[in-house]
Structure 1
Amino acid sequence: MGKHLSLRVLVPWQRLVDELTIPGIEPILWHINDDPNNAPTADVLVTERPSNPELRSRVSRIKGLKHVQLLSIEYEWVLEHLPERVSLTNSKGAVDDATAEHCLALVLASVHRLPQIGQQQRERQWTRTWTGSLHGSKVVLLGAGGVGSEIRSRLLPFKPAELTTFARTERVHEQGYPIYSLDRLWAFLPAADVVIVALPHTGETEQLIDAKFLSAMKDGSLLVNVGRGPIVDTDALLPELQSGRLHAALDVTDPEPLPANHALWSAPNCITTPHMAGDTAQFISLVSELAVDQVIAFAHGEELTNRIIN
């Protein structure tokens, strides 16, 4: 890039335009999901994941593109649309707290039967209801990355009787607790009161939560998914919910977005939120700060954090 040229950067929010209006950088407001016009020529794309899957391919048609900075941890959606020799980074570390907080909200709402109590409130029924509790429960946590670690730290103050973490690689966490490999979870699964999924979507985790897995969960237990929708076999989960044997709280689903006529909407014992775990004001501040730092580093040829593709 010549000294007289500016780095052209597509950004989705006016805040990023304002913060990147600095010498050597030309921010251009363009949102992959909302802008009806094709993207102008640009060196860098800072983007959210399009809510409409059909718009994801717009990434492949940006002329001059050299780098993509994602405003999320999730990156799988963009891989097939990323042109050759275009580098990719994500926002690992910025979304972890928000996702963990949402996960805890789903767990507590489910364990304490808040949807049921809410319905009783609407019907003006004063009916005392006995519920479960995290205190004294056995929790299986699938995922030991940034999100999984933050979920674990938030669960501990609620005094679960057991909190066991599993991931693809067996190891000891830097905080000293063991992380078991996924193939060892079968010894823990039948006794678990709560199973939390915070794994990435890979070939290994595709439909990991299948009929066999679900049948191994004990009656009345809770499945929470804040990882990726395809990790759970929806067709296998639905009969378990409809029979009342299991409970679920899902921030991600398969398919996604969930069609209006899908059976999950009306499934009993199920809370579904629209992939919103990271959608907080604090998250916006954190990913914006990270995106600005990444763009400035790219403009100066400095090393970027959270590299997915070099």
Structure 2
Amino acid sequence: MTAADVWLPIPPDEIEGLPEGLNYRFWNGEPDFPADPADCAYYVVPYMKPAEIAVRPLPVLSSVRVVQTLSAGIDNIQGGLAGLRPGVQVCNARGVHEASTAELALTLILASLRGVPDFVRGQDAEEWRGGFRPALADKNVLIVGYGSIGSAIEDRLVPFEVARVARVARSERTTARGPVRPLTELPALLSEADVVVLITPLTESTRHLADADFLARMKDGALLVNVARGPVVDTKALLAELETGRLTAALDVTDPEPLPQGHPLWHAPGVLISPHVGGPTSAFLPRAKRLLVDQLGRFVNREPLGNVILTTGPVGG
């Protein structure tokens, strides 16, 4: 029996511990495919590539059994999943991005509250810009989207002596740190939060979740932090609030993205923008490799895979 092909966006000789019994092909979005797509059984989606590259092989992966992203979400390939044959398991990269994304979320919160961008501008201008700044200590923080990354953000908030952390997710549940509230309770919780962190997946139900009504319910002077996906926030509504100075924002993701030159968000008052760098850090590769070794070991041994987000069904099913 011919061994199944596995397409990897990391050279296989750089991943220690890959199981035997599979044919590993390196493909990271190049124009030419590394082999016949019809022989690919396990497709690992290139990381940080545009959606058109990520989905390009999908229509011709006639034998694929697993599509594995190296991102926390699967929105980048969602548009190409309808053409896959039934029974394909789609897996995300839970466990890969928690450390680096949570680290950036705390960086953005602290930098925004303590005025680090203003310090940098002052240094460039050789100006000593002192004075009192808000601290993270004693603040109420609301985490919207309490999956593994949301939980990792809370882990890192604890040493900063915040007053309270509230958690919101699609479904209500209890965790070791406290209750997770359903989205229906979000309006009431927004009015109590000094810092609102968005780390929810991008779905049709979360697109423009932070709309004009959401933002209007936030308390005066509150900070909105988006480390989720750009379209979770209604950019026009956010700009309206920023222009008044009522809210501030720290955004690792924007809509549109990349943010084009001349866009008003670049120079809106009270906004700090980082260029979608929550995941791509030195922490990525070791965790991505560990995930792939584990998943492919399960695959070759016919064990249940981890991180299965969905399994494709019949067209119209």
- Residue 180 (structure 1) aligns with: 181
CA root-mean-square deviation: 1.9
Q: Secondary structure at the match of 1:185?
A: helix
Q: CA deviation at 1:22?
A: 5.5
Tell whether the 8 Å contact from 2:12 to 2:25 is kept in structure 1 after alignment: no
* Correspondence list, 1:215-294, <5 A: 215-294=216-295
In structure 2, give the amino acid aligned to 1:205. T
Tell whether the 8 Å contact from 1:100 to 1:151 is kept in structure 2 after alignment: yes
Q: CA deviation at 1:207?
A: 1.0
Where does the alignment leave 5 or more consecutive residues of structure 2 unmatched?
Answer: 312-317
Q: CA deviation at 1:291?
A: 0.8
Matched positions, count:
304
Q: Secondary structure at the match of 1:43?
A: strand
- Residue 315 (structure 2) aligns with: none
Partner residue of 2:45 out of 39, 47, 59: 47
In structure 1, give the amino acid aligned to 2:49. S
Q: CA deviation at 1:40?
A: 2.5
Mapped to 2, the partners of 1:100 and 1:116 lie a distance apart of 23
Q: Which moved more, 1:79-88 or 1:17-26?
A: 17-26
- Residue 38 (structure 1) aligns with: 33
Change (3 A) 1:21 1:56: closer
Partner residue of 1:151 out of 145, 150, 153: 153
- Residue 80 (structure 1) aligns with: 79
- Residue 19 (structure 1) aligns with: 16
In structure 2, give the amino acid aligned to 1:113. G
* TM-score, structure 2 as length reference: 0.89
Show structure 1 runs of 4+ deviating over 6 A.
Answer: none
What per-residue deviation string (whole Å, max 9, x for no partner) do you get for residues 192-226 of structure 1?
A: 21111111122322211111111122222100011
In structure 2, give the amino acid aligned to 1:73. A
In structure 1, give the amino acid aligned to 2:296. V
- Residue 102 (structure 2) aligns with: 100
Tell whether the 8 Å contact from 1:56 to 1:78 is kept in structure 2 after alignment: yes
* Correspondence list, 1:57-68, <5 A: 57-63=55-61, 64-68=63-67
* TM-score, structure 1 as length reference: 0.91
Q: Secondary structure at the match of 1:239?
A: helix
What per-residue deviation string (whole Å, max 9, x for no partner) do you get for residues 235-272 of structure 1?
A: 10012122322111111222223223322222221111
Mapped to 1, the partners of 2:104 and 2:69 lie a distance apart of 21
Mapped to 2, the partners of 1:229 and 1:9 lie a distance apart of 31
- Residue 165 (structure 2) aligns with: 163
In structure 2, give the amino acid aligned to 1:228. R
What per-residue deviation string (whole Å, max 9, x for no partner) do you get for residues 144-165 of structure 1?
A: 1101111111111111122111
Q: CA deviation at 1:21?
A: 6.4
